[in-house]
Structure 1
Amino acid sequence: MISVGEKFPEFKLTAVDGKPLADINIDNVFTEITDQTYAGKWQVIFFYPKDFTFVCPTEIAAFGDMYEDFADRDAQLLTASTDTEFTHWAWRKHQEELRDLPIPMLADVKRELTESLGILDKNEGVAQRAVFIVDPDGIIRFSMTTDLNVGRNPKEVMRVLDALQTDELCPCNWSKGDETIDLKQATA
């Protein structure tokens, strides 16, 4: 798996746009997103195994519920799987909690991004349940992968984003507003 401190790979993928269902039609449902689309912003990119499954919509919806909180931190949320953009669109239309999902859904059909990140599950041939926080310079600052059967906690991802954005030392269980570690005081 690609490591923290490395540049997030270049990509160019088709996505289902993160607009409310009422604002989408066949002429504007798909958009192209590249590694440069949100250049200069923090990005939180989370991968999931498959559309039309059981764990995936719970965590996608949970990230979607926190979309504005991430946006307030100048962070763009993106989600991706190896399904096609057409499957993403069909799933969004039919899965109640995804209908107004504000997050673009990337289609890594050729598995190029998934493979370059090292998160293609060898047994299932799908993206592992991985999340990356990428800084405004395109550098991976956080990565996490869980078992295909275990959903992630978006609040923990936000906590880590908050800590990274302080650019200071943050102790265990640090939360936004808590004191960071002052090296001058710690060594005195």
Structure 2
Amino acid sequence: MLTVGDKFPAFKLTAVKGGKEGLMGPGKSFTEVTETTDAGKWKVVFFWPKDFTFICPTEIAAFGKLNGEFADRDTVLYGASTDSEFVHLNWRVYNEDIRNLEIPMLADTKRELSEALGILDKNEGVPLRATFIVDPEGTIQWAAVNGLNVGRNPQEVLRVLDALQTDELCPCNWEKGKDVLNPQALFEKAA
């Protein structure tokens, strides 16, 4: 699996657009997304195993509710699975929790991005619940993976993004607005 310090792989995928544009129907709901889309921004790319399942919409909806907070941090969210853009669109139309989702849903139907990242479940052949924070230069700065049966915490992803964007030393459980570590001050205090 790719991890911190690795370049996020190049990709070119069809996505269901976020927001109302994503509900306009085939031909109008889709867009192409590449690694250079939203160049110069931080990116959070999260994967789920399959559309029309039980845990996945809870996570996607939770990321969706935080979309504005990620945008405030000059960060774009992309959700992805190996389902097609048509399945994504149908799921959005029929699932109240994600119908108004503002996040593009990427269709990694050939599994090329999932394979390049090393996140395909060996038994099921679908993506694990992987999340990547990618800096504006395209370098992975944080990676986390959950098994198929355990949902993740989007609020924790936001907390980690805040810490990464400080470019400082952040202690355990650090939250935005709290003090960061100052090694020189700690050394002087101990002396």
TM range (shorter): over 0.9
Across the two proteins, how many residue pairs are aligned to each other?
A: 188
**Offset of residue 39 of structure 1:** 1.3
Using the size of structure 1 for normalisation, the TM-score is 0.97
Q: Contact 1:16–1:105 (CA<8 Å) still a contact in 2? A: yes
Separation in structure 2 between the aligned mates of residue 27 and residue 110 of structure 1, nearest angstrom: 20
- For 2:9 and 2:22, the matched residues in 1 are separated by 33
* Counterpart position of 1:51: 51
Q: Could you say what the CA RMSD is over the residues aligned between the two structures, in angstroms?
A: 1.1
- Kindly provide the amino acid, as one letter, of the partner of residue 56 in structure 2: C
Contact 2:51 2:88 in 1 (8 A): yes
- The 2-side partners of 1:20 and 1:159 are apart by 28
Deviation at 1:23, TM superposition (A): 6.1
Q: TM-score, normalised by structure 2?
A: 0.96
What residue ranges of structure 1 are gaps of 5+ in the alignment? none
The match for 2:125 is 125
- The equivalences for 1:1-188 within 5 A come to 1-20=1-20, 24-188=24-188
Alignment partners' CA distance in 2, 1:128 and 1:25: 28
Q: How big is the shift at 1:57?
A: 0.2
Q: Which runs of 5+ in 2 are unaligned?
A: none
Give the aligned residue type for 2:126: V
Query: Higher mean Cα deviation, 61-70 or 21-30?
Result: 21-30
Seen in structure 2, the aligned counterparts of structure 1 residues 23 and 123 have a Cα distance that, compared at 3 Å, is: closer
Give, as a single letter, the amino acid of the residue that structure 2 aligns with 1:98: I
Indicate the percent of aligned positions where both proteins have the same amino acid: 61
Question: 1:20 deviation in Å?
Answer: 2.0
- CA drift of 1:24 comes to 2.3
**Higher alpha-carbon deviation: 20-29 or 10-19:** 20-29
CA 1:23–1:112 in structure 2 vs 1: closer, same or farther (change >3 Å)?
Answer: closer
